[in-house]
Structure formats: C-alpha cells, structure tokens
A and B are shown apart, each in its own frame.
Chain A
Amino acid sequence: MKGLTANRLIDGEVVFWNAGEWVERFADIEMFEDAAAAEAAEAHAKAQPTVVVDPYLMDLVEIDGVWIPVAYRDRLRALGPTNHLQHGKQAEGGKVVETLQHAHTAARSTGRINLIKRK
C-alpha cells in the first residue's frame, strides 16, 4: 500500500494526496493498492510545481487496523516533533495520531536517500 505526500510550496506544510486534492491530515490520505494509480497520482503532483515541493510515494503498513507510514521519518512528518507535542499535526489527536505515536514496529527508511537528495 502506498500514499502520496509532499511539502506545500508556500508554507512548507506537510500535505497528503486525496483524490486530486492536497490535505493536511494524514488520516485523510488516499491509499493506493494499485501501483499504476499511485504513479499516476505522483505524476499529477509533479506537474504542480507551484503548489507542492518534492512529492513522493511512501510505503504504508497496517498496524492495529490503521495504515501508517513504514518509515519513521514519514511518521514524524505526519505527527510533528516529539519534543513539542503541541506542535505539528499531532496536536489534533485522534486514533490515527495515537497509532502513529505508539507504533514502534516495522519502521524502515525506504526512500530516504532520494528524499535527502531532493531537499
């Protein structure tokens, strides 16, 4: 399973793709089972250079019935920093946020090298 994410150009906010729109909550992300559909969405996102920066597909894994990013880095992007729990998306709370905060398993850094190159 994959999801599409990027940073919004104008303010750097982490955003997620859902049916042609960029949304701010990870809980609202669209999940792609089909690789071709995921790649098509990514291509669409890359054609929006004045809206987002560095869109990329991230791997998702199911934990406790909730799909969350595999890479720890992507989990932090979906949450916010762990030293200021009132900052970032985590401030809103909810089941998906809690699952992200407590998921210790199966993290890996897929795509990290490419991410670094892009930044």
Chain B
Amino acid sequence: MYRYDTIDKEFVADRANEFREQVGRRLAGEITEEQFKPIRLMNGLYLQLHAYMLRISIPYGTLNAAKLRKLAWIAKTYDRGYGHFTTRTNLQLHWIKLKDAPDILEHLAEVEMHAMQTSGNCIRNITADPYAGATSDELDDPRVWSEAIRQWATLHPEFSFLPRKFKIAVSASAKDRTATRIYDIGLAMRRGRNGELGFEVMVGGGLGRTPYLSHTIREFLPTRRLLSYLEAILRVYNRHGRRDNPWKARIKILVNQLGAEEFARQVEEEWAKSDHELVDLPDIELARIRGHFAKSFETLPARSEAFEAAKAADPEFARWTRHNLHPHKAPGYAIVDVSLKTPGLTPGDASSEQMELVADLAERYSLDEARVNYQQNLILPHVKLEDVPAVWRELKAAGLATPNIDLVTDIIACPGLDYCTLANARAIPIAQQIAERFADDEKAEEIGELKIKISGCINACGHHHVGHIGILGVDKKGEEFYQVTLGGSGAEDAALGTILGPALPYEKVAEAVEQLVEVYLRERKDGERFLDTFRRTGVAPFKEAVYADVH
C-alpha cells in the first residue's frame, strides 16, 4: 500500500487545520454560506436531507487495517455506527455534524486519509481494478498508475476548476472490473506488439441524464507517457467544455459533439505541443511508487487439503466459495469477496463492528489489505486457501458471509431519497424488497449472474443504465415511480440498457423483477446468463410479462 511521505503528511494535516479555521469563520458569521459551500464541498462535506454527509476518499478502493479501523471508529464516534460504501469506492457517513468535521479530518489525516476531491469540478478519486495485485489475469498492477495519477491530480492548479467533475478508471486485465467504459477517461492496459505495456485510452463515457459509453481515442499509449497524455485530454476539455449549462458540461458531451475522431485529433495536437518529460514521471519515481505495492507471497501448494475438506464437509461453505472466492495469482491463495448485500439490509452499508472485523481479518489473513469495489462490496485480496474456512466462519458470525457475488441479490443501490437531496425516489427499499424475494440462496444460485442496479435519480450514482436490470427512480406528480431498463452492462461487454416500458409504481417494482426473472428462466438456453438471453430474445417477452395486466 502506498504510504505518505513527510510532505504528504504535512499537507493533509495542514488541510485539516485550514478547514478548522474555515468552519470557525463560518460559525462566527465571518463568511457566508455562499462563500463557505465550495470550501466544505472541496473537503467532501455535503448538506443532505437529515444532516451533513462526509464523503471520505478511498484511493482506488484500497484500505489497510489501520484505515478501516479508523473509519469504523469515526462512524461510531461521530455518526450512527455505520457507513455506506459507494459505487465510487468511497465511504459516506450520513449523520455528520459541521462542528465535528474538522476533528474527523484530523483523525483521517492520522491514517493518511482525507476527503478531498470527493466533490467539486475536479479530478475525483481514481478507480482501479479491486483485484489489483492479486488476480492472475492482469498485465501490471493498475494501482501503480492510479497512484501516479492521484499524485498528479491532487490539487492540480490547472484542473481544480474544470467545467464539471472528472472521473478516471484504470484496469489492467481483459476482464473489466472497474466499469471503464462509463468513465470520463477509462484506461485499459494492453500489451503492444513489441511487448511494451500501454493503455487503450477511452474518453467520454458517463451515465446521468445523457448516458454514453466511451470512445477509444488511442489504441495504445505507452505507459510512461500516461500523465502527459492525460494532461492533453484535460486541456482540450478545459478549453472547450461547456460552462454555461451543468447538464452539458461533462466531457462526454464535448466528445460526442465534436466526434471522437476530431476530439482525438485535438488531443494529439495538444499533446504534441507539450514537453512530455516535464510531466511524465521519471522511472525512478515510478519504481518508488511500485515498491509500495510489492507483496511477497509464501510458496504454497496450489491445493489446500484443509480447504477441500471444509468444502466437502459443509455445503453452505461450499456454496459461498463458489460465489465469493476468486482465483489468486499466487498458488495456494484466494481473493475473498465480502458481500455487503444481505437480503433485507441496505446495500453497501457496513456497521462499525463489521468494519472492525474486516480490518482484523485483513490484518490476520490478507497481508493487511482490504479493498472496496464499485459493486459496494469489500474484498480481502490475499487469503491463503487454508485460512479461508476460518475467515468464512468469522464473516458468517458477523453477518458478512452472504454467498451472492454477482447474483440477483448483489444489488447496487445509491442512498436515494432516504438521504440524498438530489434524489427523486428511494432506492434502498426497492433493493431490499427485491433481495427479500430472492433470499433463498439456492434460487439465487439457480438464476446465476444477474446484476441489478438502482438509482434514485437520473444522476445515476447506482449505475442503473448498465444494470442487466436497471431501475431508475422518477418523480411523477410527487409519487415515486420507477423506470426499468434491461440489457445494460458495465463489464467488458459494456452496453446501455433498453427501456422496458412505462414507469412502474413503487409497489410493483419487486414483483416486476420477479416476472422478468421468470421470463429469463423460461427462455434461457444452456449456459446463458440473464444478459445473454435478453440479447438473444430482445425486450418483447420481458415486456409482455410485466405489462400483461395493463393490456
């Protein structure tokens, strides 16, 4: 894990002190709310329905035990004992008091954390493959590049007042676990003909009211040129991105108005003008960053007899391993997905006690690492196979062993109208109702991979556009209604969903999802996922099932 140097530490501590002063001035009436609001937002502090909300940055979703324990302690001390992990791999605390915020930032600084750039029109927290450094299918550790971008982008004076917020995702595997195609910039590592590593650079993805998948503007950018090329993209956007209309200010609008080819031409022209050596990191610095992520694994046999015996002895454990365990690059190790999607509870929420437990497990069993992914789950990336049964028992005792990764109950949901000022409708209770209908593990397993994503408004924090089943809360004359889309995907087969039909009332949504699943089970052919069946049959049979009683 990357560790702050002295400069980083002093800077983050200074920033917390600065915010203390600013809060003091606001409370004393020396600055107005209008003056204060951009300051608090730059420190991740929003005012929401019931209280202030603090969005804490978790760079590329990577945590260690000390950080996770601190988050648990902050949630217990200053909030209501729980936190909400988001689709941007950050943590939101929804019951924060303004007067406590400076203290919280100070506590975060003690463990090399902060809440900067989790809001505002700047480069936001970088997202990376949550299996980075653990999965066997990666070309390189994407966190090295994510950290380089983080350092470059943090308080970058030229890019602190962009036309709109800006999000970057980095992947280094063929399997896309970061939803790179819906990012302002998605970077997917590729190997060039001569063996050199580079990035496919994709620009202009995004959801919201005008959803787009990104366009590839460069098939292969040598990794060592990453920062200068990003600078060129940001410069073109900063120059031409619209500032007159927030709904048209994201880079996706610019890219699609200019056309990807013309946008790419302008980026190349801009890039040609810059002195790359001044921007791109020297090898020595990259090596320093890389050193922080190096892990040494024990030499173990690929098969653990203890693990196999535990599977054979306990079908419940065996089921969990089928869904929540993924292959590790080191023999004898596994990646453990910790589901925060217990049916009936709030997707992405973890109590302080649960966070503390995962921190303990990370320290004892996962080389002091835990991750957050955009599906709002946690990950223990480096667990020895022989330790997996013990890890599972402890997770189970804490209500964290739901065997449902990528299944119908592994639902993404934003906080929605229960907390968020922007929302039109609630997302959490819809997720709870759907999950309860599929709470039978056997049934969920039979259905197989099915990604349901719910947003409480068109801003799409719940990624509904790219759900196999997407659900969007809308406001119809003051009542909560929900528009359903089918066939979206945020993975390597990325697609935007197709609208099923007229929006459904609150009471009808879970039933409709059940009807959609029934159609899938009826229509599916061997080995087809829900998404495959939908792509083969089209929307018609699904539409017919849900709206049959309307005709």
Residues of A within 8 A of B (CB): 7, 9-14, 49-50, 53-54, 70-73, 76-77, 80-84, 87-88, 106-109, 112, 115-116, 119
Contact = CB atoms under 8 A, between A and B. Distances in A.
Contact of A82 (B97, B424, B429, B475): B429
Interface in B450-490: 475, 477-480
30 contacts: A7-B51, A9-B98, A10-B27, A10-B97, A10-B98, A11-B51, A11-B52, A11-B97, A12-B96, A12-B97, A13-B50, A13-B51, A14-B49, A14-B50, A49-B32, A49-B33, A53-B33, A54-B33, A71-B478, A72-B480, A76-B417, A76-B418, A83-B346, A83-B428, A84-B80, A108-B477, A108-B478, A112-B475, A119-B46, A119-B48
B432 interface: yes
B426 interface: yes
A116 B422 contact: yes
Contacts of A54: 33, 47
B315 interface: no
A76 B33 contact: no
Interface string B343-361: 0001000000000000000
Interface residues of B, number: 36
B407 to A, nearest CB: 21
Interface string B42-67: 00001111111000000000000000
A76 B415 CA distance: 13
Given A83-B346, A83-B428, A12 B98 contact: yes
B421 A81 contact: no
B478 A50 contact: no
B419 interface: yes
> Secondary structure at chain A's binding surface: helix, strand, loop or mixed?
loop
A80 B50 contact: yes
Contacts of B28: 50
A49 to B, nearest CB: 6
Contact of A72 (B29, B346, B478): B478
A68 to B, nearest CB: 13
B443 interface: no
Contacts of A14: 49-50
Nearest to B475: A109
B535 interface: no
A37 B66 CA distance: 54
A84 B97 CA distance: 19
Nearest to B432: A83
| Most A Cβ at <10 Å: residue of B28, B49, B422, B424 | B49
Interface in B408-464: 417-419, 421-422, 424, 426, 428-429, 432
B419 A81 contact: yes
Contacts of A49: 29, 32-33
Contacts of A73: 49, 417
Contact of A11 (B46, B94, B98, B417): B98
A82 B426 contact: yes
A14 B419 CA distance: 12
Most A Cβ at <10 Å: residue of B27, B47, B478, B480 = B478
B80 A87 contact: yes
Nearest to B98: A10
Contacts of B46: 119
A87 B95 contact: yes
Given A10-B99, A12-B51, A50 B479 contact: no
A92 to B, nearest CB: 14
Given A12-B47, A77-B50, A115 B95 contact: no
Contacts of A106: 478
Contacts of A88: 50
A49 B426 CA distance: 31
Nearest to B346: A83
Interface string B86-108: 00000000111111000000000
B386 to A, nearest CB: 38
Given A53-B33, A81-B419, A83-B428, A70 B47 contact: no
A31 B46 CA distance: 29
Contacts of A76: 49, 417-418
B47 A119 contact: yes
B47 A7 contact: yes
Contacts of A53: 33, 47
Contacts of B475: 109, 112
Contacts of B428: 81-83
B32 A12 contact: no
Interface string B334-375: 000000000000100000000000000000000000000000
Contacts of B424: 109
Contacts of A115: 421
Nearest to A104: B479
A81 B418 contact: yes
Of listed B80, B421, B422, B426, residue having the most chain A CB within 10 A: B421
B29 A50 contact: yes
Please list the 9 inter-chain residue pairs (A to B) with the smallest Cβ-Cβ separation, ordered nearest first: A108-B478, A81-B418, A12-B51, A11-B97, A107-B478, A12-B52, A50-B29, A119-B421, A83-B428
A13 to B, nearest CB: 7
Interface string B222-258: 0000000000000000000000000000000000000
Contact of A50 (B27, B51, B422): B27
Contacts of A107: 478-479
Contacts of A84: 80, 346
Contacts of A119: 46-48, 421-422
Nearest to A112: B475
Nearest to A108: B478
Nearest to B419: A81
A70 B50 contact: no
Nearest to B427: A83
